[in-house]
Every structure is written in structure tokens, then in C-alpha cells.
Amino acid sequence: MYRFYQMSQFSKPTLSFIIPLMNEAPSLRELHTRIAEQANEHSRGWEIIYIDDGSTDNSWEIIQDLAKEDPEHVRALKFRRNRTKAPALATGYKESTGEVIFTLDADLQDDPKEIPRFLAKLNEGWDVVSGYKEKRHDPWHKVLPSRVFNAMLSKVNGVKLHDHNCGFKCYRREVVKDLPMYGEMHRMVPSLASIEGYKTTEIVVEHHARQHGVSKYGWERLLRGFMDMWSVFFVKTYRERPMHFFAIIAVFCVMLAGLLWALAFLPIISESVRTALTSAAPAALFAAPVCLAIGFLAELIGYRHYKEGTDVPIIERIDLNEGVEHEKVISLADAKEQSKREVTPIILIADDDPVTRAISARIMKKEGWEVITAETGEEAMGAVSPEVHVVLLDIYLPGLSGLEVLPKIKQLSPKSQVVVLSGSDKPTDGASAIKAGGYDFLSKPVKADELVTTLNNALQASLALRVAV
């Protein structure tokens, strides 16, 4: 059993903003500024992941500029061609590292000032918070089919929302890891989340008229959405018992065949109609075993899937041997990862090079570490605390050097292990770092696997000191 305690509140969580886009160059800089204003105030760390879905304008060039200007927060991926929104979101989900995930469009119709309201709603215990554009600034031929589709989807799949398709959404991290995202399933996120037992709600958000570019959607999406709606309904209702669905169809086919034969022998039926009915009846009868065969195949596939092992997520559990504990299991992958360590490792990265700082932070966040950054030795001494497990310290810092700061850090937090970095060719740097109390020494540039291995070793040394005490 994989277990860990539910985080009671996201008071100041780490945030990931996933922004799929195509030909939205005029709005990107303003969007980035607005998100940064809110993220800096309401998070303890954040990232924006831009997914360029085959843009033909200069969107990618602007994203590259933003990455150079703000390397600590900007990540970007570019597709070779347009792959549509669902694959873009799936890629963003995979790349994200935040405890809370936001998705929003790049056209400035979604207003980042709503971010604190989403977080407040999430803190009430919801898993997914979806935006509801009560007053939409879109043409009627876009609004009308959307209203019809949302009403049908709420009825069929049992998730009562006014606007399933709103791109402005907020999720707990465990939700996006459990959502299959393919085709055009981005419209089905609340329904897919409900299948896994996650709680979904919505808040009214301000919707702005499009200022730049053109809408990427047309009437044809209504038909595609209709088909996706029934696909999700089938998965929700019959994914663990597909034979029941196909057996119902088989029984219907047998009944239809009997009805056609009965009608064929009524005296009032003409010869030509009788011929048509007696020809259709065998076809309906033949469809029944075909449906049953499909059902058996689906059952065999499902049996193999569940035989290989699929754990059912446990929301709460009472352990009589240990007393009452209220616990939450996120996803099997997350739980396995959490089971490898009892605590979330915390690292302080002190480096005056913003690129090195950003890359190191990104690598360790992907490894599940909580990251604190500093640009100077003075900032590093102010940021270090007994809770910090490892310090990644540049030896050449402005003001106090790394070698001057290292003993002070060891005094402030004796159980923290310090790994020293140097971009110099001086052979004495490594010896000086170890002599000053450093755990290990690395020369720039450092390979990602070497960095992770060294820092994990330093973590084990730090944890051993804490256990010993």
C-alpha cells in the first residue's frame, strides 16, 4: 500500500501555467506580464510552459525572447506542425512540475487576475476548478452551439457545468497525471476527471473580447464534440464491463429479427414488403453473435489489463493497528515516487548565473525537489535554514565568495550538505571547497545525470545526519 498524507491547503503552492497556442504573437508579451504579476504574489515558485502548436507567424521568436528575459520561469516547446489542443495539453501536463496546474488560452480572453480566485476555490477541497464565461464576448454562431453542447454534455455525463469547454481551468497535480488526453478530449476534462472520482466545480470568470488574431474553432467542432461526448459516456459507464453494453445490443438485434419476421407474415403486408422484411431479419439476427464476439474480445482485453495490476485509488482508510488516519492516495505513479522518500527534499541553489540557476532548478524540480534560489552569498545565508537538505553553491559569487559563505552556511544549518560548483579551471578549487566543509565538488558545465546523482548522494548524507541526531 502506497500512502502519504493529503496536503491540507495550497497556501502558496508552486504553479505551472500551460499555454497552448497557434499564431498568437501579438498577445504573448502582455499575457506573460499579467501571469507573472499574479504568480509572484500567490506562489512560492512558478513556471509558464508555452506549447507552440505549429504557428506560422513569429510566435516562436517572441517565446524565445521571453525565455531569454525570464529563464527562471519560461519553458517552451514547439511542434513541427499543428497537432491540435489535446496533444499540446498532454505534452504540457507531462512537462509540468507545479503542485497546481493552470491551463489558459493565449489570446487574452482569459484574464490572469482570476488566478487567486481559482486557488481559493481549490482550497475549499475541489480537485478541478473550471472557468465559466457567463458573459461571453463571442459571436452568436459560436455561443449558441456551445450552449447546446454544454447542456447535453452535463445531462449525459452527469457533470453539471455551464461551460465544459472553457480553456481557463485549475487542477491539483494528481488530476492531470490521471487524465488521458488525445484526439479532442480537452473538451471532456471535467467528465474524464469525474470518471476517476475527482470533484469538479466552476467559478464565473471575466471574459474579454478577442483583441488579436482569429478564433480557431468553427461549427464542425459541435459534431466532433457530440461524438466525443458519447465516447466518454461509454468509458464512464462500461469500461469495466463492456460485455454488458454489447449484450444489450445483441438482445436488441434478436428482438428486432423476431419483430421483422412477425411483421413479414401479417396478411396485410404486400409481397414486396414481405420480401424486404424476410431479407432484413437474418441480417439483424446475424448481428447478435457479432456483437457478442466483440464483447468477449473487449472483456479479454479488460481482463488482461486488470490482471497485470491496477490499483484502485483509496481516498480514506482506517488502520486499526495504527489508530485512525485520514490519508489520500494520489495516483499509483505519484505514490510509488513518494514511497521512495519520507520527506520532500529541499535544495538551495546559489548561483549568479541565471541560466545555470534556472536549468539546475528545472532539473531538480523534475526530480521532485523543492527549490529555493539565491543570486549572491548574502542571499544564500538569508535563505538557508535547518529544513534545507542540500545547498548547490557557486564558488565565484558577487560580494562574498562561495568559499567565504560555505562555513557560515554550515554554522546556520549543520545538517545541510553543500555541493560546490565552479566554472574555473583552477585545480585548487575542489580541494578548497572540501577543506571549507563542502560535501562534494562539480565543475561547470555539469551533465544532468551527474548533477542528480551527486545531489541525491548529498541528500542521503543529510538525512543520515538527521536520523543520527
What confidence tens digit (pLDDT) does each residue in 272-314 have? 888 888 888 888 888 888 888 887 787 777 666 555 555 545 4
Q: What average pLDDT score do residues 116-121 get?
A: 92
Q: Is pLDDT larger for residue 171 or for residue 190? A: 171
pLDDT of residue 29: 94
**Whether 93 contacts 186, CB under 8 Å:** no
Single out the residue of 158, 154, 100 nearest to residue 127, CA to CA: 100
Average pLDDT over residues 61-86: 89
Mind listing the pLDDT tens digit for each residue in 349-385? 999 888 888 889 989 998 889 999 999 989 998 889 8
CA dist., res. 337 & res. 4, Å (int): 11
**SS3 breakdown of the chain: % helix, strand, coil, rounded to 5?**
50, 15, 35
Average pLDDT in the chain: 79
Banded model confidence at residue 138, pLDDT cuts 50, 70, 90: low
Angle at 345 between CA 341 and CA 350, to 5 degrees: 160
Residue 184, beta-bridge partner list: none
From the list 107, 51, 104, 101, the residue with the least C-alpha distance to 76 is: 51
pLDDT of residue 20 exceeding 50, the answer is yes
9 pLDDT above the threshold of 50: no
- Chain segment 375-419, per-residue pLDDT in tens: 998 999 888 988 999 999 998 888 888 888 898 998 889 899 999
The answer to whether 55 touches 21, Cβ cutoff 8 Å, is yes
Cell of 442: 562539480
Cell numbers describing residue 461: 548524507
Positive or negative, the Cα torsion across 328, 333, 339, 345? negative
Q: Taking the model in full, what pTM does it have?
A: 0.56
With contact defined as beta carbons under 8 Å apart, do 272 and 219 qualify?
Answer: no
CB proximity list for 70: less than 8 A, separation 6 or greater: 32, 36
**Could you tell me which residue, 320 or 270, shows the higher pLDDT?**
270
Q: What is the CA radius of gyration of the chain?
A: 28
User: What does the pLDDT read at residue 324?
Assistant: 41
Judged by phi (left if over 0) then psi (alpha if -120 to 50, else beta), residue 10 lies in: beta
Residue 219 has pLDDT above 70, yes or no: no
Tens digits of residue pLDDT in 142-161: 666 666 666 666 666 667 77
Distance in angstroms (rounded) separating the CA atoms of residues 368 and 370: 7
d(CA 200, CA 330) in angstroms, rounded, equals 16
Residue for cell digits 453542447? 149
- Provide the pLDDT confidence category of residue 209 given band limits of 50, 70 and 90: low
Give residue 392's pLDDT.
Answer: 94
In the chain, the N- to C-terminal Cα span, in Å, equals 29
Instruction: Tell me the average pLDDT across 437-461.
Output: 87
How does DSSP assign 257-307, residue by residue? HHHHHHHHT-TTS-HHHHHHHHHHHHHHHHHHHHHHHHHHHHHHHHHHHHH
- Concatenated DSSP letters for 91-127? HHHHH---SEEEE--SSS-B-GGGHHHHHHHHTTT-S
Look at residue 371 in the predicted model and tell me its pLDDT.
92
At 213, the pLDDT band (50, 70, 90 cuts) reads: low
Burial class (CB in 10 A: 0-12, 13-18, 19+), 35: buried
Strands (E), 199-272: 200-204
